[in-house]
Structure 1
């Protein structure tokens, strides 16, 4: 009975306490995700020509490498995420279009960015030249909202999701459920500078990571921009950014199992009037990466189910069986002990399972006890004979 009670208490603790302790972002994340697609892209080789050239429908590949850095403990985890976008039709660094190393500290339960006095809660790595051998330096960038993951027990609602290029969060809106490789995922959509129809409404001025804002504003001759008028006139254009994303999220673990990204970087003198495209691409997580993320999500589901459902149910069933079995065994043991000590203390007719129900009834017939009848005096003897 004691063991049964202990199992019931353990089941209660597993359900209420332990599940909350294990439903957290893992500390051993080390994965590389690849997305493929096409887009319109500026040709770097045209910098040395008479006019900037934008190539149409070129193959592009986005790679995202995620690893865990310090601080990482029972409450928080720090993710370092390296993102690159390349033209796969060009070799080595000639095809590099975008690159960023983003670092963010997340609450392991809510997946929201957290900050403290010793940890700003986020940073981006300052760009370096390829031949630069100095260690990288970071620029503080406090994050807000979710980043790279959704929370455990994701709900069907709107979440703020941080965009490291725009450097602020934008709403990720719930848009339904879809099956992804056998996993029922929640679908979320996010617009940065676009409306739901993909029309530019509020593009973001690109935040340069260089000290001189070299990539956020560019001044070149009108001929290079392809503008009419004086070909030698210096024209300064500003770089703008907009994006649309769709996330497919495992609602149990918050793992993003699939993602589609559309990114639009362009130069213009007015924000809503694009003039020269730097890159306009759409990529989707490839099959191999989707399989990897779905497998990771199922592993998390199994771990949570084991401690939050399977073990509590098992412990509850075993606990009830042991309690009932202990009660029956205790009753049997007490009865046996009473008979061994003093049979008269037991009212079951000296039987473990009770006597016959008719033992108190009179016994009929030949089994009845006989009585002794008094002898009669003889009446036919002579009167003078002594008796």
Structure 2
């Protein structure tokens, strides 16, 4: 195999590599990116929020009247894990959330507890349901000392839950409230920086208006068969209500309202920060609260914010690597390879023509060696002529005029 043929083969190989790189760039920017822009299947984190509020003292159930304390320290904890079904299309999140008074010990400080399960579409982050999977459930409350397996109550979800979609848009999304058991609008409210990360801010009102005034509180949806946690009957003295007969039984309904603000990473849909205001109270008329169970405001603490920002950045980096960096790199390398292969191919053809007929390139533009004038025919116009000696006037014969 001569050098020209070897160069031609190398040129074809380089051009083929360039074409392959361009195809890979196209696939990465379309098919691969769409398959990695999904909710991860390995979610396992705990978010802690701190704050304060007005709260009922569970120990007062055994006293003469209910005791409600003001300005007590409160902690909300939300633990998120992945359960089955979880596959290429859907992911099921199980979220255990609690709200407790940090100035009380164990069950004496527990105010709210819920285990919520929801199945989400991994691309849209919207709740999905099927015949075999209702799309969500809540765990039936049970006593702390109860060691029996928990019982789930089917609760179909709708809208978003615990996450926003990849490539979050500046618009209104339906966001599910498991206490109210339906979705409410989460409205876009601008951009804000959270620990160096640009986020979209969304606000949601459940039973409140934009100014935090009660307008349409939600009757608390009981998880007990006897609705023990949604309606309560107690003597007037326990409610703190003045009556002719302190032992007169009075029945009140539990109502609920909430306000939330989410700071969302628009690339991954991760909620990196959140504030919650929840209001649970008992009343005989919905808009006339009489006994507060808990009225709290909590915000994600700094440690949890850092953890969520880190998780969001990891998702961003993964999407950027497969959706932008590698496609751009492969495109640049592919174009270089195509141009380089084309030039090398042209060079190989020239070299092959030189080997077949060296006279085709006698104009001094050869690839190998330089022009050698020796042994080449010289045109007649350039032939050397012999110089003849000129005669001087003194050498002429005397009879010949000068």
Q: Same fold (TM over 0.5)?
A: yes
Deviations 1:23-59 (A, max 9, x none): 0000000001100000100011111222111000000
- Give the structure 2 partner of residue 176 of structure 1: 190
- Give the structure 2 partner of residue 71 of structure 1: 85
- Give the structure 2 partner of residue 333 of structure 1: 348
- Give the structure 2 partner of residue 207 of structure 1: 221
CA contact (8 A) 1:80 1:102 kept: yes
CA contact (8 A) 1:113 1:143 kept: yes
Deviation at 1:138, TM superposition (A): 0.2
Question: Which has the higher relative contact order, 1 or 2, with Cα contacts under 8 A spaced 6 or more apart?
Answer: 2
2:25 and 2:265 map into 1 onto residues whose CA distance is: 26
1:289 aligns with one of 301, 304, 327: 304
Runs of 4+ in 1 over 4 A off after TM superposition: 344-350, 353-356, 362-365
2:365 and 2:62 map into 1 onto residues whose CA distance is: 112
- Give the structure 2 partner of residue 125 of structure 1: 139
Matched, 1:81 2:89: no
1:329 and 1:8 map into 2 onto residues whose CA distance is: 19
2:319 aligns with one of 300, 304, 313: 304
CA contact (8 A) 1:87 1:95 kept: yes
1:142 and 1:3 map into 2 onto residues whose CA distance is: 52
2:357 aligns with one of 342, 364, 373: 342
- Give the structure 2 partner of residue 269 of structure 1: 284
- Give the structure 2 partner of residue 166 of structure 1: 180
- Give the structure 2 partner of residue 240 of structure 1: 255
1:98 and 1:116 map into 2 onto residues whose CA distance is: 30
- Give the structure 2 partner of residue 324 of structure 1: 339
1:275 and 1:133 map into 2 onto residues whose CA distance is: 36
Seen in structure 2, the aligned counterparts of structure 1 residues 328 and 232 have a Cα distance that, compared at 3 Å, is same
Aligned residue-pair number: 365
State TM-score, norm by structure 1: 0.91
Structure 1 residue matching 2:254: 3-state secondary structure = strand
- Give the structure 2 partner of residue 380 of structure 1: none
Seen in structure 2, the aligned counterparts of structure 1 residues 350 and 290 have a Cα distance that, compared at 3 Å, is closer
Deviation at 1:341, TM superposition (A): 2.2
Matched, 1:190 2:204: yes
- Give the structure 1 partner of residue 39 of structure 2: 25
Matched, 1:250 2:265: yes
Task: Give matches, 1:14-163, under 5 Å.
Answer: 14-163=28-177
Matched, 1:218 2:220: no
State TM-score, norm by structure 2: 0.88
Seen in structure 2, the aligned counterparts of structure 1 residues 166 and 3 have a Cα distance that, compared at 3 Å, is same
* Ranges in structure 1 where 5+ consecutive residues have no aligned partner: 357-361, 372-387
Structure 1 residue matching 2:233: 3-state secondary structure = strand
* Ranges in structure 2 where 5+ consecutive residues have no aligned partner: 1-14, 372-377, 387-402
Structure 2 residue matching 1:214: 3-state secondary structure = coil
- Give the structure 2 partner of residue 377 of structure 1: none
1:142 and 1:257 map into 2 onto residues whose CA distance is: 26
Structure 2 residue matching 1:4: 3-state secondary structure = helix
1:8 and 1:350 map into 2 onto residues whose CA distance is: 35
Question: How well do the aligned residues superpose, as a CA RMSD in angstroms?
Answer: 1.8
1:313 aligns with one of 303, 321, 328: 328
